[in-house]
Amino acid sequence: MKEDSYDFQEFLEDYTETSSDKEIRIINAAINIFSEKGFESTRTREIAERAGVAEGTIFRYFPTKDAILERMVPLLIRVMMPRISEPIDRIIRAHEADSVEDIWFDILIDRIKMIRDNGRFIKSVLPELIHRAPLLHQFQTSILPMIEQYIAKVVEYGKARGELDRGLSSRLVMQQMLGFILSYSVFGGSEKRDTEHDVREFLQYAMKGWSGSCKP
C-alpha cells in the first residue's frame, strides 16, 4: 500500500458484514486509487496490486470495474446517513435558543469536517455519479430527502423567530449549502484556508437572501 493511502479496511468491515476479506481489500484499494487517479484512468491490475491479490481474483467478485463502483455507492450511502442525521440532530438540540445563523454555522463546520474525514471515499465515488444516472438516482433518493428534512427543521425555526423570510424554500437552502460544502471541501483546497472565516463569510451573504433583506 502506498505511503499516502488511507486504510478503510476496519471501516469497511463495519458496513460489509457478508463480504470476504479479499473483497474488502479490493474495495479498499479501489477507493484509494479511484481518488488518486480517477475512475477511468485506473486499471484493475493496479487495484489487484494494491489489494495484494491476483488480477483474476478481482473478477471473481466483480465482473467489471463498474461493478466495483456499483458496490461502493451503497456503502457511501450507509456511511453518510448516520454521519448526517446524528450530528445535525445534536446541533439543533444544542441551539434551541440561539440564532439560526449560529445553527447554520455549526452544521456547516461539522459537514466540512465530515467530508474531510471521509474525503478519500467521497472523492472516489461522487464525481462518477454524474455520469451514471441509476447510481445518481440511488444516491439522490437516499441522501437528499434526509438532508432536506433537517434543513427544513432549521428553516421553520428561523421563520418562527423572524430571522428567515416566510416564503423561503428549504430546498433552495439545501442546494446552496450543499453547493458551498462540496465546492469548498471537495474541490476548493480548503485544508489551507481559514474554515471558520469562510463559513461566516458565506453565511453573511446567504442570510441576506434567506432573510429577505435583499428584496427590492
Domains and CATH numbers, the chain: 9-61 (1.10.10.60), 66-210 (1.10.357)
CA torsion 183-204-93-96 (nearest 10°) is: -170
d(CA 126, CA 179): 13
**Pick from 178, 171, 196, 179: which is nearest to 80 by CA?**
178
pLDDT at 185 over 60: yes
Where is average pLDDT lowest: 54-58, 71-75, 170-174, 197-201?
Answer: 71-75
Assign 2 a pLDDT band (cuts: 50, 70, 90): very low
Where is average pLDDT lowest: 22-31, 48-57, 109-118, 158-167?
Answer: 109-118
Assign 47 a pLDDT band (cuts: 50, 70, 90): very high
- Are 82 and 40 spatial neighbours (Cβ–Cβ below 8 Å)? no
Write out the three cell numbers for 179.
453547493
What pLDDT is attached to residue 40?
87
For residues 7 and 39, the model is more confident at 39
What pLDDT is attached to residue 7?
53
Neighbour-count burial of 9, counting CB atoms closer than 10 A to its CB (0-12 exposed, 13-18 middle, 19+ buried)? middle
What pLDDT is attached to residue 176?
94
What pLDDT is attached to residue 124?
72
Write out the three cell numbers for 181.
460544502
Q: Give the single-character DSSP code of 123.
A: H
Look-up of cell digits 484493475: 44
d(CA 169, CA 9): 41
- What does the pLDDT look like over 92-140, one tens digit per residue? 778 777 889 999 999 899 888 877 776 776 777 777 777 888 888 887 8
Write out the three cell numbers for 46.
493496479
H or E element at residue 181? helix 170-185
What's the average model confidence in pLDDT over 162-190?
85
- Give residues with Cβ within 8 angstroms of 28, minimum separation 6: 7, 8, 9, 12, 51
Where is average pLDDT lowest: 27-41, 122-136, 195-209?
Answer: 122-136
What pLDDT is attached to residue 58?
95
d(CA 179, CA 177): 5
